[in-house]
Chain A
Amino acid sequence: MAPSPLPSPRGRWVPQTDHAFDPPPSLPVGGPPGDNSTVDWCLYQLNGAAEFEVSEADIISTVEFNHTGELLATGDKGGRVVIFQREPESKNEPYNQGEYNVYSTFQSHEPEFDYLKSLEIEEKINKIKWLPQQNAAHSLLSTNDKTIKLWKITERDKRPEGYNLKDEEGKLKDLSTVTSLQVPVLKPMDLMVEVTPRRIFANGHTYHVNSISVNSDCETYMSADDLRINLWHLAITDRSFNIVDIKPANMEDLTEVITASEFHPHHCNLFVYSSSKGSLRLCDMRASALCDKHSKLYEEPEDPSNRSFFSEIISSVSDVKFSHSGRYMLTRDYLTVKVWDLNMETKPVETYQVHDYLRSKLCSLYENDCIFDKFECAWNGSDSVIMTGAYNNFFRMFDRNTKRDVTLEASRESSKPRAILKPRRVCVGGKRRKDDISVDSLDFTKKILHTAWHPTENIIAIAATNNLYIFQDKVNSEMH
């Protein structure tokens, strides 16, 4: 039985799933599974209210699949977390296969006020990270600017009945009516999903937390803010260990902040953190207690021909992700995504232009603060394709093997359910094809900052303001 969604505390979020029950149109299908160069993406699901009903609290601020891809979590500006669960396949309803339905909704963080500093702390969820599943329950970490919380998600689908001392409503029975002894039995009940906060990791950060990462040892995790990185044990909330501190003795000398960090997927002693100057530092926790000295520094020398006022600002790394193999790192700065080989510190092995046509617009993008937008990036399961968001609700995919790239759009108008997404093109003057968009018509308020790729399959989750789009590979969806 499908779990019913828990009522949202604000009562405004209404999940709407758009899916057609028509058979998919018979269009030429992409290549065999695994051949990512000819993947055809189609809209599978769209969740979220229509644009004119958007409230700021509904804006999605993070998206994350769990390790199996069965669960998909989103966090929003209002401090809520919504978890979707993928429907198991069944032969009875062939077109409902693999659909992500709302599994649970809960309020993770509330707005807080720090009286000593006269500061308000936003409830916006900055990051969600799933813990690897170790028993029947699922666990995840969610964080806002200051506090990290560990949540346990459990299912209850049975209920004990037939108590000796209590009746059906739970009231104590009159003992004189009890004449025989019975063993309570477990009877099935409607599935209930319970979410409980198991740990609250507070007071660890003075500055704004920008990332959290669970270690492969499954016992520790780290949280990073602008100037410091802390190591926590999942079971201990009153202590954390500071492993990186780049705060200078004199704040006047501050020239660099930490922008993102992540543990290596296999080596529990290694982690990387990126900076606002565009560099990456790989640190080994075995080397010393305080990892201020990096083991490796990854930095590309600046290209003098591309120098401008904004060179430093656009070089700031907004996201860093290890590949599944652990061999490479993916970074996103304002105009490019770069693949770095852990063994080569001097420059990235691959650089892809996300929207180079914005290079001549940097001044106006600086004026409206868009130049500070923090885009995320993602690997596919086999590390052969990378994905990142852009403006105008566009998102880009780059195939590392074929060197082909594609621009797709996440919008209600251009996405009919099950129809294949048409590649988009931005023209910069010169020849203009039909359906091209000119740089000046791009909508900079429609930005895709948060994207996630299923760990093994060609399923992607794209957050566009308050809407969650789930796209699937045509072949994938037809096989079910």
Chain B
Amino acid sequence: MLGRGLKRKLSDYEENMAGLSSRQLVLNMCLTKLQTYKMLVEPNLHRSVLIANTVQQESNCCDLRSAEDQIENSLLIVSDDDMSSAISSILKDLDFVEDISPPTCLVPTGDDQPKFPENAGLKLEDDRQDLKGAECVFGSFEISNSTSYLKDLAIDDIFEDIDTSMYDSDFCCPPLMPPRPPPLATEEPLKTFPSCNSSSANNIQICRTDLSELDHIMEILVGS
């Protein structure tokens, strides 16, 4: 994703210009990666930390620049602050995801992989998850077409009394959404829903704020 309107001329050796465009390019990539990782069900902690540190260092370097450059870079400065707060919230979310519960011993049952249709457009590890879903050891449970399975369930009837309006967002945050409804046969998991809803409410709020900030940053960087 290149900054629009910034052409790099081979003859142009002016360090500032060249530095600015490549810096924007890298920062754009950092932002995209962080966003992508956040979308993943289980973000890669190592990579997220490395990218966050890289962006942090760049924003520190930026602060040391001279006054003339300030005007040129003013847009970037604004976005760096926004970016650091976005990164902080991403790391906070990682904490939430990872330590939400003590690690449990796992028993494969007949459940399916969670599907997030809103993310279909993004290049994620969806393919990998699909592959895994197919190969998961789920005993004799036959899943011919998971999406049709979803439609067959009368989901709305079961959760009529739970207010799900908060979760209807364009950009969903998989780790913060309540677990997908299980097959009708089991009732136990339903008990966990109320607690899940209350604790995740705040985080969804934060998530939505960051996302609008990220959108704002994207707009600035792309220059539209």
A binds B: yes
Separation in Å of the A144 CB from the closest CB of chain B? 12
Residue of A nearest to B25 (CB): A363
Q: Please provide the chain A residues from 194 to 222 with a CB less than 8 Å away from any CB of chain B in the complex.
A: 202-208
Q: Render A353-386 as a binary contact track against B, CB cut-off 8 A, 1 for contact.
A: 0000000000100110000100000000000000
Listed residue (A110, A204, A205) with the most chain B CB atoms within 10 angstroms of its CB: A110
CA distance A111 to B101 in the complex (A): 20
Is A427 in the interface zone, CB < 8 Å from B?
Answer: no
CA distance A192 to B135 in the complex (A): 29
B50 A116 Cβ-Cβ under 8 A: no
Residues of B with C-beta under 8 A to A259 = 46
CA distance A282 to B15 in the complex (A): 42
Is A27 in the interface zone, CB < 8 Å from B?
Answer: no
> Pick the contact of B137 from A111, A118, A312 — CB < 8 Å?
A111
Q: Render B163-203 as a binary contact track against A, CB cut-off 8 A, 1 for contact.
A: 00000000000110101100000000100100000000000
A372 B50 Cβ-Cβ under 8 A: yes
Separation in Å of the A246 CB from the closest CB of chain B? 11
Q: Render A88-132 as a binary contact track against B, CB cut-off 8 A, 1 for contact.
A: 000000000000000000000011111111111110000000000
CA distance A262 to B198 in the complex (A): 42
Taking residues whose C-beta sits less than 8 angstroms from the other chain, chain A's interface range is 35 or more
CA distance A57 to B175 in the complex (A): 26
Is B223 in the interface zone, CB < 8 Å from A?
Answer: no
Residue of A nearest to B196 (CB): A116
* Stretch in A40-48, A183-191, A247-255, A408-416 touching the partner: A247-255
Separation in Å of the B205 CB from the closest CB of chain A? 17
Is B74 in the interface zone, CB < 8 Å from A?
Answer: no
Residue of A nearest to B56 (CB): A255
Residues of B with C-beta under 8 A to A367 = 29
Residues of A with C-beta under 8 A to B95 = 251
B54 A310 Cβ-Cβ under 8 A: yes
CA distance A476 to B100 in the complex (A): 55
B50 A312 Cβ-Cβ under 8 A: yes
**B residues touching A (Cβ–Cβ < 8 Å)?**
22-23, 25-26, 29, 41-42, 45-47, 49-54, 56-58, 88-89, 91-92, 94-95, 97-106, 108-109, 111, 113-114, 129, 131-132, 135-137, 174-175, 177, 179-180, 189, 192
Query: What are some 18 contacts across the A-B interface (CB < 8 A)?
Result: A56-B131, A115-B179, A116-B192, A117-B100, A118-B41, A118-B175, A146-B103, A202-B103, A203-B102, A206-B98, A226-B46, A227-B45, A254-B94, A255-B49, A259-B46, A276-B50, A310-B54, A366-B26
**A residues touching B (Cβ–Cβ < 8 Å)?**
56-57, 110-122, 146, 202-208, 226-227, 250-252, 254-257, 259, 276, 309-310, 312-313, 316, 363, 366-367, 372
